[in-house]
């Protein structure tokens, strides 16, 4: 009788797990598909819609002048962009986090972090391929970057990566320090975008596009995770406490 009761109790959790997997993949697909019309809209905007063209050109011109006039400042921006906030560095951080979650047997949280990172990268690549926007062409460039311009891969990767790191690790941080963590994450994401425009390798609208698409991916996969929590009988978590508030004290998931 007791074994039968245990099986009955476990069945809803297994069903919730299956629905979580389907929702997680569906959320990633929705994020990728929704990027296509967004990219096409930006192609129309790129066809010299004057207000946006004025913002892009003005920001590129002013920041490029500053970069040429202050070599030390430019070297600092290049170091931050190519070393500290480089997409490869941030992806490695998320990969290490995912491995740590797997070692803790936090399977669903590990799946969420991995799918969010991969979906972000594939969505950005898809939109770049569709839009095929050229990067800024400036006299005496201070930096070079390969590939197409929209959206900024640095900005999008920073958005998804810092969101994953923040939402997973926040429950481990004392409440008094959580505002600091949010501030560091937000300032880092904004800083990544600024360096890309200041170095003349992206238009301002490229960076905004990267931020928006990154947020769309995170929102979609986080929604899937929250839906699983509801299905498995757990309370919905607020973003201020991370996706899995029980992480520090919970027993390893089976």
Per-residue pLDDT tens over the stretch 137-192 = 888 888 888 889 889 999 999 999 999 999 999 888 888 888 899 999 999 999 99
Q: Which residue has the higher pLDDT, 250 or 127?
A: 127
Longest dimension (CA), the chain: 79
pLDDT at residue 250 greater than cutoff 60:
no
Q: Which has the closest alpha carbon to 228: 14, 74, 43, 75?
A: 14
| pLDDT of 11 | 56
Rounded mean pLDDT, 32-53:
66
Q: Highest-confidence range of 1-10, 45-54, 123-132, by mean pLDDT? A: 123-132
pLDDT band at 127 (very low <50, low <70, confident <90, very high): confident
Using CA atoms, how far apart are residues 43 and 78, in angstroms rounded to an integer?
A: 28
Which pLDDT value is given to residue 56? Answer: 87
Q: Per-residue pLDDT tens for 200-238?
A: 999 999 998 899 889 888 888 887 777 777 666 666 666
The pLDDT score that the predictor gives to residue 6 is 43
Higher pLDDT, 178 or 42: 178
| 112 neighbors 182 (Cβ within 8 angstroms) | no
| Overall average pLDDT of the 115-119 stretch | 92
User: Within 10 A of 69 (CB to CB), how many other CB atoms are there?
Assistant: 9
φ, ψ (nearest 5 deg) of residue 209: -60, -40
CB 159 within 8 A of CB 210: yes
Q: Which two tokens stand for residue 8?
A: 């009955």
Which pLDDT value is given to residue 215? Answer: 85
């Amino acid at each position: 009788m007791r074994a039968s009761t245990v099986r009955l109790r476990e069945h809803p959790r297994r069903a919730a797990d299956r629905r979580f997997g389907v929702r997680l993949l569906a959320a990633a697909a929705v994020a990728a598909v929704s990027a296509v019309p967004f990219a096409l809209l930006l192609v129309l905007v790129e066809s010299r819609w004057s207000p946006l063209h004025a913002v892009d050109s003005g920001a590129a011109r002013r920041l490029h002048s500053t970069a040429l006039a202050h070599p030390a400042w430019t070297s600092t921006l290049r170091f931050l962009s190519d070393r500290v906030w480089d997409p490869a560095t941030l992806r490695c951080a998320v990969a290490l986090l995912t491995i740590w979650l797997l070692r803790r047997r936090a399977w669903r949280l590990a799946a969420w972090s991995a799918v969010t990172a991969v979906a972000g990268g594939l969505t950005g690549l898809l939109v770049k391929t569709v839009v095929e926007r050229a990067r800024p062409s400036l006299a005496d460039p201070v930096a070079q970057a390969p590939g197409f311009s929209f959206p900024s891969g640095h900005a999008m990767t920073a958005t998804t990566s810092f969101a994953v790191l923040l939402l997973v690790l926040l429950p481990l941080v004392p409440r008094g320090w959580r505002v600091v963590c949010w501030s560091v994450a937000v300032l880092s994401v904004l800083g990544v975008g600024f360096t890309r425009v200041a170095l003349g390798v992206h238009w301002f609208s490229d960076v905004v596009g990267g931020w928006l698409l990154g947020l769309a991916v995170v929102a979609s996969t986080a929604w899937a995770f929250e839906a699983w929590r509801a299905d498995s009988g757990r309370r919905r978590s607020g973003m201020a406490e991370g996706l899995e508030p029980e992480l520090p004290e919970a027993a390893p998931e089976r």
